[in-house]
Chain A
Amino acid sequence: MIEIKDIYKTFGDNDVLKGISATFQTGKNNLIIGGSGSGKTTLLKCIVGLHEPTKGDVFFEEENFTDMDFEQRVPIRTQIGMLFQNSALFDSMTVEENIMFPLNLFTKQTKAEKLDRANFCLERVNLAGKNKLFPAELSGGMKKRVGIARAISMQPKYLFVDEPNSGLDPKTSILIDELIDELTKEYEITTVVVTHDMNSVMGIGDNIIFLHQGQKWWEGSNKEIAHTDNKELNDFVFASKFMQAAKSKL
């Protein structure tokens, strides 16, 4: 379980986050949604400590992560898997080396075991056999999927994914959603997904947080989101004609 309490983040005079509190339950898909530039990535980075929050605290299982120094954070960090919005693959390494990198540093596995794990992860994201390619040789969507494979290679207890489906076709997109959902339920992972893909919201949104004007504007499940009367959320979710049509059938 991850708890965030009253997170503020300011860049210069740009107040991006203004007091966000939330609880992310274990074994649940926690979604953060919101318009472009609403601070979703910023919030994610505050949670994992890549940005220091201007104010507020983050707790991993009751432990105050914000107060820890680098060394104290390492045991928690090795249990974190993260997909960055732009994938952030190591471009001097092949796909396989990318996925095996944390295993090399933090496990005592043999070469064969690590390779097995890499192949398994690649299979899960539908990229079996792409082991020897370099990031520069991948499409945007493939990079995303390698990023996911790398994020899950250490069997993380906490999984953070920033827009896992952007740049993916609808079919692969659903596959990735299902993968995230499966892992979360099967391994009891605390998962936080940043997305603006409405299919994901409806498909796997156990708990959804809607960011608007730097605040947690709304929180609820995918069952509730269809019937909300929150105006801003409605405008956001049902912006497309397709979603409006879908709503009338709900």
Chain B
Amino acid sequence: MFHSLGKYILLLRLSFRRPEKFKVYWAEVMREMVSVGIGSLGIISIISVFIGAATTIQVAFQLSSPLVPRSIAGSIARDSTILEFSPTISALVLAGRVGSSIASQIGTMRVTEQIDALEIMGVNAPGYLIAPKIIAGMAMVPLLVIVSIALGITGGYIACLASGDVTPADYLVGVHDGFDGLTVRVALVKAVVFGFIIASICAYQGFYTSGGALEVGQSATKGVVYSCVMILFADLVITRIML
């Protein structure tokens, strides 16, 4: 356990050593950003609308007392979407989609000696393979979370239109009422941290794969499981510190 932690930290330090040639690394960062960002836009959009809608309906159901104004449902749904559902669920989904591909890509390169080939050329393999992915993760997950928040709130609106538990007008009033910029900042901090967790843990699992195709699969699974656990743990810590 402590041994792995040490190896993980050492690998991260190696990853952020000065690159041999900046241009080549920059091209890698761009490629990874496109693959993480554009590649995940579809799935993030779909789940966000559903989550927003479900949250709104559920809050409306729980607030069936005539004493509270119906618009409160909008405020509560908004805050839960921004603070918790969008960043966390997006990150869990991204761990499955992006994380597993990072782990299996690097793992395959390890077992087919492509990483050895890099090393022989004098390339700092962790730097070339891992750093661009971490940078891309930390840059793109926040963007995806912003998209997710916007679509989640839209999803709530659609739910109001469709179900009529809360009128769309009430919902919109609620969404506007008492909006605090802090919630968005918390969401973005979470997103950056989650992006880092997904890319670094999965890259670590891939990098230290040994064996063959079977082990590559196991590394991908481990990468996803560990990053999910760490995402939820970090979620708790950040929420506790910032709120």
Contacts and interface: CB of A to CB of B under 8 A. Distances in A.
Interface in A60-81: 70, 73-75, 77-78, 80
A82 interface: yes
| Interface size of B as a range | 10 to 19
Nearest to A101: B121
A70 B113 CA distance: 18
Interface string B110-133: 001110110111111000000000
A106 interface: yes
A50 interface: yes
30 contacts: A50-B116, A50-B119, A70-B124, A73-B122, A74-B122, A77-B119, A77-B120, A77-B121, A80-B120, A82-B120, A84-B113, A86-B113, A88-B114, A88-B117, A89-B114, A89-B117, A90-B109, A90-B117, A91-B108, A91-B112, A91-B114, A102-B121, A102-B123, A105-B21, A105-B24, A105-B121, A105-B123, A106-B121, A106-B122, A154-B121
A48, A80, A82 pick with most chain B CB within 10 angstroms? A82
A104 interface: yes
B177 interface: no
Interface of B: 20-21, 24, 108-109, 112-114, 116-117, 119-124
A84 B121 contact: no
B115 to A, nearest CB: 9
Contacts of B20: 105-106
B117 A77 contact: no
Contacts of B114: 88-91
Interface string A80-104: 1010101011110000000001101
B113, B116, B121, B124 pick with most chain A CB within 10 angstroms? B121
A84 B124 contact: no
B128 to A, nearest CB: 8
A82, A86, A105 pick with most chain B CB within 10 angstroms? A105
B153 to A, nearest CB: 38
Contacts of B117: 82, 84, 88-90
A89 B108 CA distance: 12
Interface of A: 45, 48, 50, 70, 73-75, 77-78, 80, 82, 84, 86, 88-91, 101-102, 104-106, 154
Nearest to A85: B113
Nearest to A78: B122
Question: Which 10 A-B residue pairs are closest in the complex by CB-CB distance?
Answer: A77-B122, A88-B113, A74-B122, A88-B117, A78-B122, A82-B120, A102-B121, A105-B20, A84-B113, A50-B116
Nearest to B120: A82
A88, A90, A106 pick with most chain B CB within 10 angstroms? A88
B21 A104 contact: yes
A88 B121 contact: no
A80 B118 CA distance: 12
Contacts of A106: 20-21, 121-122
Contacts of A45: 116
B122 A48 contact: no
A84 B118 CA distance: 12
Nearest to B113: A88
Contacts of B108: 91
Nearest to A107: B21
A116 to B, nearest CB: 19
Contacts of A154: 121
Contact of B112 (A50, A70, A86): A86
B75 to A, nearest CB: 47
A102 B121 CA distance: 7
B126 to A, nearest CB: 10
Contact of B24 (A73, A80, A104): A104
Nearest to B108: A91
Contacts of B24: 104-105
Contacts of A89: 114, 117
A45 B116 CA distance: 10
Given A80-B122, A106-B121, 11 more contacts: A50-B116, A77-B122, A78-B121, A78-B122, A86-B113, A88-B117, A90-B109, A90-B117, A91-B114, A104-B24, A106-B20
